[in-house]
Each structure stands twice: as C-alpha cells, then as structure tokens.
C-alpha cells in the first residue's frame, strides 16, 4: 500500500467501487454493443442552440455579476424563475436552494440531518447513485419493498417501529414517487397520502426526489408529495422536494434545486458554502433566462415527443420478442423499464451472457440495499439508444433469455 493510500480516511477506505460505473466502463465503446444500461438523456434532447445563445448573452450582458462569486443558496434570479415556473407562489426565497444537480441536493439534505448510524428508509429497489450519497454521510439505509402502487407504506411503519425498538433514530424517508429509477413505477395517490400521514405521525421527514416529473408521455399528473403535504395537510415542514435540470436540459449543466422548510434549507446552504461555495454562476443565469423567456414548455413538449416514441418502440419490441414468463413495467413517463424474469434466471449472470451478445443492461441487484437483494430483475433504459437499436437490443436479450 502506498504512502498516500495508507493515509486515506476510514470513510474513504470503506467506500466500495461502483458496480454500475464498472459495468458501464466495461461495455462502453465495445464495437457493436447496444447499451440499454446507463441513464443518459438523448443528446437530441439538449436545447443546444437556445443555450448557446443564452450563455453568450449572459456573459456579455451580465458577466460582471455572473462571473463573480455567488450566493451559496443560489442565484436569486434563478430561484425566482423556478418558483414562477413551478407555480409555487407560497414559497419564500429562504425555502429554496439551488444545487449542483439533485445528487448534491440529496447529499446536502443528508449531511444536514444525519449523525453516523441514523436510519434513512428508502424504496427497494432504489437509485444507487442517491443511496451512495446518503451512505456517504454515515446513514444506514433500510429498504422497504414496493408493489405496483409504489412503496408499501404499511411496511414503512413496521420498519420505523422495528428500528426504534432497536434504539435507532429514523431521520427521513427517501422516495422517488414518479417513474421511479429503476422500476419505472409511479406511487398512487392513496399511497402518497398514506406516506405523508405516516411520516407526520412518526415525526420523520420525507425527501421527495423528482427528476422525471416533467417527462410524462401519457396519463395525468398526480400531485407531488410536496404539494399534497402543503395543500391537503397544511404541512410545510415534513416534505422537501428536489428536482433536476439534468434530464430536461442536460446533466452537464449540473443544476437542480431543493425546496423545503427554511431551517433545513439554511442548514443545507451552510454545508454547500463549505464544499462548493456556490453553484456555477453562468449556467444558473442562462437557465433563469431560459425559464423567463418561456422556452421551457415548448422544449419539454418536444422532448416528451422524442421519448414517447422511444418508450413505445421498446415496449413494442418487448411484446414482440420476449418469451413467456418475462414481465415488465409500462411506465407513462421517465426513462426506464423494469423487467422481472422467472426462476432460475439470475440477471447478474445474464449480464455477462448479454454483453457477449452485444447488449448491456443493469442487473436489478445493483439497486437493492443489503438484506433486500433480488437477482431476477433488470433495468432497461430507453432514452439514449435510437429506436432501431432499442428493437435490436431487446431482440438480442430475448434470444439469450430463450436459451437460458
Ligand atoms: C432518481 C434520481 N435521482 C437523482 C439523480 C441524479 O441527478 P442529477 O444529475 O441531478 O444529480 C438521478 C439521475 O439519474 C436519478 O435517477
């Protein structure tokens, strides 16, 4: 072990490698490989021309302001535009924080709340990128099963009870209620109400992660937990929502925001100040002008058209070629399909077979916390590949599944 390795902190040394990152690395750039593995938006979805114009304009006209050190809680101009765009007239500027994407919001929220060993309840499965950010703050994750309606709230109550009986402190519930990554599931309205009721009764917080809320291709939008808590329960303390511009404008912008109770937002800003000083100034203002000029509605409509076609293409391909016994979700939005296989299929093993056949996916096991693991599922992404590749990728997978 080298000198510098020996000096690494215990926390750093206990950090595992990201299997998903390793898998993506192993399949990236391989000749003929069709990847349904990552979660990247389509490059065709980026509003390149509009952003190019706005970046140039913002630097030229507002450079003295936006190239200067900025506020840790984010650009006031962007905050005002976000609240206007979201239609949240009741939210004060001290209840919203601009972050470097949602991952950063999740990290700051957890940082502000968690003492080592405190418990965070999450969906099982859930997005591993968020889970590692939560664990990095010393939290212990407790995964709770989902069904077609989303998180099974009754089990959340059981877990909170059990953890408390064990002397543990449960601080918050981390949920992705819409087009969940990885399962594509959307939490039903009655579950949303039940979850808020449960959190209020148990006096734990909810962190609502909503990166896909605007990517709806069919059906009607449900109220967010954030809206429900405020409008139906008159409660502005329990839910903090975070949203991201990553899947709408481009993840390279590294912009998102969190809205929640003022004391929590202040605590998050205080941590942000110590680590990143402030979000990136030019990008914040360019996105503020994007919203101000009303470009967002037409843009979201365009990308929803693009993704609707991809979603329909992958579902048609699954229907056409998958052998009987294979089941999958048919989400009304988002970027992912969740496939469940009958026994004895193990998708960790299938991954290697599939890679040899030129198609990549993420095995379901990579989205579970310790103790809740399943190995009969896989996540398929449909936002990145084109329709012909989606069809061919699914056909290759179906061919291997038929042989297994
Ligand atoms: C559920 C969920 N949360 C958070 C993120 C991270 O997004 P960001 O790029 O805003 O950090 C993602 C990205 O895939 C996601 O799927």
Q: Ligand 1 test: best mutation among 100, 244, 254, most atoms within 8 Å of CB?
A: 244
Calpha distance 262→268 (Å, rounded):
10
Tell me: domain 10-47+297-403, CATH 3.40.50.2300, correct?
no
d(CA 208, CA 224): 8
Residue 291 sits at the vertex; the CA angle it makes with 286 and 297, to the nearest 5 degrees, is 135
Nearest-atom number in ligand 1 for the CA of 104 is 11
What pLDDT digit, counting tens, does each position of 52-92 carry? 999 999 999 999 999 999 999 999 999 999 999 998 778 98
Q: Cα–Cα–Cα angle for 120, 127, 139, nearest 5°?
A: 25
Which ligand 1 atom is at minimum distance from the Cα of 101?
10
Query: Is cis: bond before 281, omega within 30 of 0?
Result: no
Place 10 in a pLDDT band, splitting at 50, 70 and 90: confident
Dump pLDDT digits (tens) for 370-397.
777 789 999 999 999 999 999 999 999 9
The CATH architecture that domain 61-295 belongs to is: 3-Layer(aba) Sandwich (3.40)
Q: What is the pLDDT averaged over residues 95-122?
A: 97
Instruction: Kindly give the distance from the C-alpha atom of residue 3 to the centroid of ligand 1, in angstroms, as a whole number.
Output: 35
Q: pLDDT category, 19, cuts 50, 70, 90?
A: confident
* Residue 269: both structure tokens together: 């800003």
Average pLDDT, the chain: 95
So where are the chain's domains?
Answer: 10-47+297-403, 61-295
Q: Which residues line ligand 1 (CB under 6 A)?
A: 39, 101-103, 127, 129-130, 176, 181, 209, 211, 244, 246, 251, 256
**Atom nearest to 180 CA in ligand 1:** 1
CA 211 to ligand 1 center in whole angstroms = 6
- Percentage of the chain modeled with pLDDT above 90: 88
Distance from CA of residue 60 to its chain's centroid? 34
Residue nearest to atom 12 of ligand 1 (CA): 211
Ligand 1 midpoint to CA 128 (Å): 10
> Is pTM beyond 0.85 here?
yes
Q: How long, in residues, is the chain? A: 404
């Amino acid at each position: 072990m080298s000198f510098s390795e020996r000096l690494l902190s215990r926390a750093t040394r206990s950090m595992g490698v990201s299997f998903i990152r390793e898998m993506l690395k192993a399949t990236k750039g391989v000749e003929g490989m069709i990847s349904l593995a990552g979660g990247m938006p389509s490059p065709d979805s980026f509003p390149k021309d509009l952003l190019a114009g706005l970046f140039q304009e913002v630097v030229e006209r507002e450079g003295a302001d936006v190239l200067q050190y900025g506020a840790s809680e984010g650009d006031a101009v962007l905050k005002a535009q976000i609240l206007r765009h979201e239609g949240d007239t009741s939210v004060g500027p001290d209840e919203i924080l601009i972050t470097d994407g949602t991952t950063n919001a999740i990290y700051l929220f957890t940082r502000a709340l968690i003492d080592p060993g405190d418990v965070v309840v999450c969906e099982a499965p859930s997005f591993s990128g968020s889970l590692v950010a939560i664990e990095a703050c010393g939290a212990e994750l407790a995964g709770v099963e989902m069904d077609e309606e989303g998180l099974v709230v009754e089990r959340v109550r059981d877990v909170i009870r059990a953890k408390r009986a064990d002397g543990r402190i449960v601080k918050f519930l981390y949920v992705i209620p819409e087009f969940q990554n990885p399962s594509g599931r959307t939490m039903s309205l009655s579950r949303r109400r039940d979850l808020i009721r449960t959190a209020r009764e148990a006096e734990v917080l909810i962190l609502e992660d909503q990166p896909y809320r605007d990517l709806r291709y069919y059906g009607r939008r449900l109220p967010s937990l954030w809206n429900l808590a405020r409008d139906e329960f008159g409660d502005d303390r329990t839910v903090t929502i975070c949203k991201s511009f990553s899947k709408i404008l481009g993840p390279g912008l590294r912009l998102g925001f969190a809205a929640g109770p003022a004391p929590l937002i202040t605590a998050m800003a205080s941590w942000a100040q110590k680590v990143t000083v402030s979000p990136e100034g030019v990008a914040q203002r360019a996105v503020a002008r994007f919203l101000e000029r009303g470009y967002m509605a037409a843009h979201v409509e365009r990308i929803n058209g693009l993704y609707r076609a991809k979603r329909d293409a992958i579902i048609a391909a699954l229907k056409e070629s998958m052998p009987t016994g294979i089941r999958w979700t048919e989400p009304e939005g988002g970027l992912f399909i969740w496939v469940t296989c009958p026994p004895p299929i193990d998708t960790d093993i299938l991954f290697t077979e599939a890679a040899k056949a030129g198609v990549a996916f993420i095995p379901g096991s990579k989205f579970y916390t310790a103790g809740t693991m399943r190995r009969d599922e896989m996540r398929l992404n449909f936002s990145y590949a084109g329709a012909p590749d989606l069809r061919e990728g699914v056909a290759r997978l179906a061919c291997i599944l038929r042989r297994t």
